Amino acid sequence: MRNFGTIEIEAQRSLHLLYASNHIINCVIKMAKAIIQKAFKFRICEPSKIVLTRLEQTLYLCRQLYNASLQERRDAYQINRISIDYQAQQNQLPKIKTTNPEYKNIHSQVLQNVLKRCERAFDGFFRRIKAKQTAGFPRFKGANRYDSFCYPQTGFSLTGDKLTLSKIGKVKIKLSRSVIGKIKTCTIKKEIDKWFVIFTVETSAEPLPKTDKSIGIDAGIENFITLSNGTQIDNWKYYESSQKELRRAQRSVSRKKKGGQNGKKAVLHLRKIHQQIKNRRSDFQHKLSTHLVKEFDLIAIEKLVLLGLSRGILSKQVHDVSWGSFFNMLRYKAENADKQLIEINPAYTSQTCLCGNREKKSLSQRQHNCSVCGYSNHRDIVASEIILSLGLSELAQTKAVGL
Ligand SMILES: [Zn+2]
């Protein structure tokens, strides 16, 4: 017969078990957090003529399907104010294959992915309407605006540097580094006249050694970014040299007859220059973000969506795209390296002194001179110092409430 004592012991045991299982759950959550997504991009080496034709044909047909699905959703919305969902469109795929047999030459998941993209475009559109932002209707894609198709799960396999694509064939890729992790998706992308493959993989994070250093970053007016240690980093060097080439290519296009053989060549050259600028920018940002994540444990930046609103920045258009992709790189690299990225509200960062005094500055005023504490420095450096101090106090607050 059991007495109360044993029941108590049993109850304690199960409590211990509960704690133990909670501990295990916590560990699993921690492990799950450490899994990150990464992308690997490789050049596809000169594909054979047959493969090249199939690549082009697949891209062309995917674009046609995208535009058709867009048309259907558009008509349904404009004429009947109803929205057609993904499932309804996916159900039509078998019929499309009967009436247009060329679609049988494309892997079914690739086609489904095209419809998913269209769904995403519409979701974004409705989201913007709901948020009362300016929302342009999703647009039809011209030949230069639709440059990739994706195998979201199956239909591809990678052995060494040989990539086999269902319904297309084998291609050799320039495997410049080894793919680490479990490959989840395979995207084939055309950049002007070259083909690339992008694998997204799931892999565990690779923490970098701690340095005990923190930094604030100001997305400035004169410079691309300014750091709170006083370093100013500019991207105009590559930008200006490319601008010269760009202007020359643009002049050449406008001088030639539109649609003529030379005109087409000039347009192709212009597109190549644009691509080159994009590549150089991405290269510059990759190097810079890698360096910062390696060097600092805590990086404080401003929330970008609010940035344009809080300062009427003149060169915003030029910098906008750059900051967005740069901050993104910082975000995922910090996560991968187990470093901290804190995004603070940019309101008043350029108007405040370290002592707390707030004084309005005009855009042309490049120097910060505080009338209260007498602190004087370049305005962007002071702004980055403020960003760092806001980031640190935000961190202290989250620690205080035990998050
Ligand atoms: Zn001051």
Least confident stretch, 41-45, 263-267, 347-351: 347-351
319 CA to centre of ligand 1 in angstroms:
29
278 CA to centre of ligand 1 in angstroms:
41
370 CA to centre of ligand 1 in angstroms:
5
368 CA to centre of ligand 1 in angstroms:
9
307 CA to centre of ligand 1 in angstroms:
23
Beta strand spans in 63-161 (E): 148-151, 156-159
Can you tell me the mean pLDDT for 324-349? 90
Output the CA–CA distances (angstroms, integers) from residue 61 to 29, 92, 104, 135, 371, in the order listed.
Answer: 42, 16, 11, 27, 66
Pairwise CA distance, residues 289 & 328, whole Å: 9
355 CA to centre of ligand 1 in angstroms:
4
Can you tell me the mean pLDDT for 141-163? 95
Pairwise CA distance, residues 58 & 151, whole Å: 12
**What does the pLDDT look like over 190-221, one tens digit per residue?**
999 999 999 999 988 889 999 999 999 998 76
Q: What is the pLDDT of residue 286?
A: 92
Bigger pLDDT: 261 or 132?
Answer: 261
Q: What is the pLDDT of residue 403?
A: 52
Contact assessment for residue 81 and residue 33, using Cβ atoms and an 8 Å cutoff: no
369 CA to centre of ligand 1 in angstroms:
8
353 CA to centre of ligand 1 in angstroms:
5
Best-predicted range by mean pLDDT (133-137, 169-173, 316-320, 341-345): 169-173
380 CA to centre of ligand 1 in angstroms:
15
219 CA to centre of ligand 1 in angstroms:
21
Q: What is the pLDDT of residue 238?
A: 64
292 CA to centre of ligand 1 in angstroms:
28
**What does the pLDDT look like over 71-95, one tens digit per residue?**
999 999 888 888 889 999 999 999 9
Say whether 72 sits in a helix, a strand or coil. helix
In the 8-state DSSP scheme, what is residue 358?
A: B
399 CA to centre of ligand 1 in angstroms:
28
Beta strand spans in 292-355 (E): 298-302, 340-344
Q: How much is the mean pLDDT over the chain?
A: 85
Residue length of the chain: 403
309 CA to centre of ligand 1 in angstroms:
25
344 CA to centre of ligand 1 in angstroms:
20
Question: pLDDT tier at 307 (50, 70, 90 boundaries)?
Answer: low
End-to-end CA distance of the chain: 47
375 CA to centre of ligand 1 in angstroms:
5
314 CA to centre of ligand 1 in angstroms:
26
Check pLDDT > 80 for residue 312: no
Q: What is the pLDDT of residue 27?
A: 40
392 CA to centre of ligand 1 in angstroms:
19
**What is the separation of C-alpha 341 from the centre of its chain, rounded to a whole number of angstroms?**
16
397 CA to centre of ligand 1 in angstroms:
23
382 CA to centre of ligand 1 in angstroms:
10
347 CA to centre of ligand 1 in angstroms:
17
**What does the pLDDT look like over 106-151, one tens digit per residue?**
999 999 999 999 999 999 888 888 888 777 889 999 988 999 999 9
Ramachandran class of 137: left when φ > 0, alpha when ψ lies in -120 to 50, beta otherwise: beta
What's the burial of 256, exposed, middle or buried (CB within 10 Å: 0-12/13-18/19+)? middle
310 CA to centre of ligand 1 in angstroms:
21
357 CA to centre of ligand 1 in angstroms:
5
The tokens for 274 are 């644009």
Which of 323, 275, 285, 59 shows the shortest CA–CA distance to 165? 59
**What does the pLDDT look like over 266-295, one tens digit per residue?**
999 999 998 888 888 888 899 999 999 999
In the 8-state DSSP scheme, what is residue 103?
A: G
Question: pLDDT tier at 16 (50, 70, 90 boundaries)?
Answer: very low
